[in-house]
Structure 1
């Protein structure tokens, strides 16, 4: 059992490579409206704590910050705190970063600002990448973990959410290269469900939207307040500009 746990942790520790590259398929559009949906954010927080926080920390976020998404201290303590005793503690994991690097060669990345760091101007936002990444795992027996990913081919991280999504395999076909008729290319044709998950495909996509919404919110919890303040400032500047213009006109009206 101990060897199994260490093996799993080793695979998870390689997740840094999964979040460090953006190759593969085009990214799907993240349902951005979920960032303003309190219920979605709360469900995303639950998924994050249960499936991500085992190995990935959020060292710049405190548990009590989740009050901003409508949770009380009692709800946070009773449902979302498994590795800490105080609601004001940072969301860290017990896995020692130095030892993880010595044992596994890589440290699981901190996820506090992962949604902001993964943006790619040619493909989409960091949220788009994460939404695509979390939904495109598939079984691949040629890989050490038994899993692969379309958004990040040869990813080192296993599919920790497979029980929810079920197990799938990717279907490929060889077709002629549209740029060179003498060559063939390996073209992705879709997924085939091998075993069902606890969720339907629609439910899983929605859950991943919730998780990514939480990750995006966590990267900037004051985003909504910042936007509101920005609107107020722009309105004030517009009004002040009008007043200044009229004052300037009144001041110079008798001067020729």
Structure 2
């Protein structure tokens, strides 16, 4: 019993530690597991830009294809880059953990549960707040995850961002105009292939897919919850009428 309690406490502590951030203000989003076009775009982004280093090894290609409405042949042709993989395989990556430790200092984490552990807002803001930092090994840093150990793999989409805050509070506003005084801006000479609005939408789609990966049954659970609530309302009505019938002769 004591071992069980200790294990639970350590697990809870590890989740809190993993969720701890820099205090940077997070952008709020509402993911939608029923938006299949968004999930499909997010899956494409994940497979093209993330799966080379990260895995979602608690997911299977077949489950993702079925849930997102992607035919199996199109899934294998366009979104599975390991030619030896089968549709029923887990979504692992080809990078050996030993090589990853040499290249990055630590093996890139599995992302199946990242949205559940970190939170959708954290992941969304993290993906948007890479900026140039020559002092870092990969030449970039991150506002949400300071001293991040990975390159900005989405730079070709977003462009290279510059930090104009120099340690100042990014939420500080001009008292006259109300505009933020500093922040992250894309270098005009190194723009990405997407506009800021397009990149924001792309990151929403990617986070939407990661949120789905963390809880594939969420859409079904929410739909079932509606039926359960309707059943409870009807049950309450019949229970109330039955109670009134039983007690009508009691004075």
Superposition TM-score, scaled by structure 2 size: 0.80
The answer for the alignment partner of 1:86 in structure 2 is 86
Residues 88-111 of structure 1: per-residue CA shift (max 9 Å, x gap): 111011233466457754221111
Q: Which one of 39, 53, 58 corresponds to residue 55 of structure 1?
A: 53
* CA-to-aligned-CA distance 1:126-168 (integer Å, 9 cap, x gap): 1111111101111111111100111112111110111111112
Please point out which of 243, 247, 251 is paired with 2:238.
Answer: 243
Does the 8 Å CA contact 2:61/2:89 hold for their aligned counterparts? yes
Residue ranges of structure 1 left out of the alignment (5+ in a row): 1-18, 119-125, 179-186
Map 1:155-194 to 2 at 5 A. Answer: 155-173=148-166, 188-193=182-187, 194=189
Aligned counterparts of 2:150 and 2:99: Cα–Cα separation in 1: 18
Count of aligned pairs between the two proteins: 221
Moved over 4 A (4+): 98-105, 173-176
* Structure with a larger share of its residues in strand: 1
The 8 Å contact of residues 158 and 196 in structure 2, kept in 1 or not, is answered as yes
CA RMSD of aligned residues (A): 2.4
Q: 1:144 aligns with which of 133, 137, 142?
A: 137
Which sections of structure 2, spanning at least 5 residues, go unmatched?
1-17, 173-180
TM value normalised by structure 1: 0.78
Question: How far apart are the structure 2 equivalents of 1:205 and 1:217?
Answer: 18
2:106 alignment counterpart: 106
CA distance in 1, matches of 2:108, 2:117: 15
